[in-house]
Every structure is written in structure tokens, then in C-alpha cells.
Amino acid sequence: MTDMHVWRSLDEVPSDLGPTVVTIGNFDGVHRGHRAVLSRMAADARSRGLRAVAITFDPHPRAVHDPAHPPVLITGIEDRLERLAETGLDGVLLVDYTLDFAMQTPEEFVRNYLVDGLGAAVVVVGRDTKFGRGNAGDVETLKELGDALGFAVEVLPDAGDTDARGRRWSSTWVRELLDDGKVREAAEVLGCQHRLRGVIVHGDKRGRTIGFPTANLDVSAGMIPRHGVYAGWLTVLDSGGNAASESLVGVRMPAAISVGLNYTVGGESLRVEAFVIDAVDLDLYDAAVAFDLVDWRRPMLDFGSLEALTRGLEEDVSWSREALGISTLR
């Protein structure tokens, strides 16, 4: 894996970058189809003595053009960039997508970003690529501009990469699987476990009273999957100034994770919380953490009493141990 540079404006792109191979996309989830294309592009660029660069956007263009109906994104921008780096790209230009940006004509976009900004020698796109004001530009437009401005255009085949059953890897497929709670299958398409990110906040602390203290996640990134109980891993990404969690940064801890409403205690708002297995007196408040989901067990239930809830949680933890391969105390 190369050390990928992230530029958040054209001004940050180094003047001595040299000629590049450039591709453009939202890359939500950076699934196995994205990874295959980008890895091949990066390897091909290196064989030609070129740099491999991707242009991606934040926020998502649809969220800007139709703010009342923003798309549900699989990953946040931090995870998108981390996964793009794993493909071997030399750099990513992260464009702040605005209505002003969208008003560029196809030629203005190509001149400003591809040619003058990134020194594109080759531009790699899909057959259905649209760009510029009102999506007026397409592959043929790009080829004409390439002829005029001195870059080649390579068009990806329609079929793309598929799994053994012949279905094309896609972000849509991942969302369908997550909506069904099929996180194992989603991980197959993504090439990694589905991740929720956020900061640990104070909850109602009911779990402590029944022996199951939980870390409550204020989710800032990652698609909320089907409600229910999952086995997964909690990783502390940053202590957030909490000295008690500083020694845990980077540590991956097994957890039983619930997503949804706590019906038994009359919960009326979404909770995403994790009981860290075999942990004692964890203090993760204000820490930035990730929940990586491994498998789905059951929907959220009303157990009718705290006693029945406690028994149910004991079974959830036992199942989670098996799902995570930690059936004995560490």
C-alpha cells in the first residue's frame, strides 16, 4: 500500500505532482468492485511511470442537489479515505461539492480539475459517466476534450467485477444486505466488516443495574443496519481527551452490540450500544470509537421484565462469544 496523499482543494495539489491517471467517483463503501478497478488502475499507472489519483466528493452530490432526500451512505468520509488508500492510489482530491462547483461546464471542469489541476495523461471512467453543469458531459464529450487537451480516455467495461453468482459488486447491493441485517454477506461485498463511527456518550445507565454496562455510540458515520443484536468489535480510535481510554486507543475489543429501541424499558429513541465482553470498569466517555459488525442474531424484543431481559442478554453474550471465536475467558 502506498502512502496516499489527500488534497482537499486544488491549491493543496503539489506543483511537481507529474502526469497522472485520474478516475472520478463517489466510491461509497469502497466495495470490492471499486477496489478491483482502483487497484488495477494504480498498478497500471505505476507501470507507465504515472501517479494514480481519484477525485471524490463530500458531501455527496445528491445531498446538495436534493437536500430534502440525501442518500444513505454506507461509510463516512474517514473510512472512505482509509479504504481508498488500501487500493494503492497515490492521491485523492476530495472536492467540497457545492452548487457553485456544479455550475462548471464540462470543459471548465476538465480544464480546471483534470488538466491544470492534476496533470491528467489518462482519465479512467465508466460508460455511464456524466459531469459538468446539468450533467451535460458524457464519455464522448470527455474523449473530444481529451483529443483537444492532450489526454487519453479509458472506458471501463459495463460488466465490471462480479461475485461467483454473477452479480455485480455495488453499493446498492451492500445497502440491501445491511437493511436485512446480513452483515456477513455485506462484508463479502465490501471486502471488510461494516463500520459505524461516533463518540461514546452518556446513556441512561440502566445496563449497569443488571450487570451489562454498555458504551452508547452517538453515530456520526456509517449506515444504520437492520435493528437488532449483533456480534462485533469495538475499537477506540481516539481518546477524545479522556485519560482513562488513552491506553485503549487502537485496541479491538469483542462486543455484543444492539441497534434499535430498548422496548423492555420503554425506549422511544434509537440506541446503538455495545457491551464489551470480559471488560471491567471501562470508561470510554468522549472517546471516538468504531463498531465493526460481524453477525446478526435477532431483532429487538420486549422481554416483559428486567429479569427476562437479563437472561436474554446473557444468551446474546454467549452467542457473540461463539460468533467472534472467543468462547473462553481471555
Residue 95: which CATH number? 3.40.50.620
39: cell is 487497484
Specify which residues 93 forms β-bridges with.
Answer: 7, 55
Of all helices (H) and strands (E), which one includes residue 133?
none
Give residue-wise pLDDT tens across range 233-284.
999 999 999 999 999 999 999 999 999 988 766 666 899 999 999 988 899 9
Specify if 216 maps to a domain.
yes
Question: Which CATH number fits the domain that encloses residue 285?
Answer: 2.40.30.30
9 & 71 share domain: yes
303: cell is 422481554
Q: Which whole-number Å values give the CA distances from 302 to 40, 206, 291, 310, 329, in the listed order?
A: 50, 15, 24, 12, 29
Q: What is the mean pLDDT of residues 120-128?
A: 94
**Is-contact 199 245, C-beta < 8 A?**
no
Amino acid in position 178: L
34 & 151 share domain: yes
Specify if 265 maps to a domain.
yes
Specify if 91 maps to a domain.
yes
107: cell is 470543459
Q: Chain centroid to CA 118: how far?
A: 25
Q: Which residue's C-alpha cell is 482509509?
A: 82
* 183-190 vs 171-179: helix crossing angle, rounded to 10: 170
First to last CA, the chain: 33
Q: By percentage, how much of the chain surpasses pLDDT 70? A: 92
Cβ-Cβ contacts under 8 Å for 116 (sequence gap 6 or more): none
State the residue range of the domain holding 319. 193-324
257 & 129 share domain: no
Domain end point (choices 130, 155, 180): 155
Specify if 317 maps to a domain.
yes
Residue 157 has pLDDT above 80, yes or no: no
Comparing CA positions, the residue from 269, 166, 200, 275 lying closest to residue 231 is: 275
Give residue-wise pLDDT tens across range 191-221.
999 999 999 998 776 666 677 899 999 999 9
The residue that leads in pLDDT, 166 or 46, is 46
Split into its structural domains, the chain has a count of 2
222 & 285 share domain: yes
| pLDDT computed for residue 152 by the predictor | 97
109 & 210 share domain: no
| pLDDT computed for residue 83 by the predictor | 97
Q: What is the mean pLDDT of residues 15-32?
A: 96
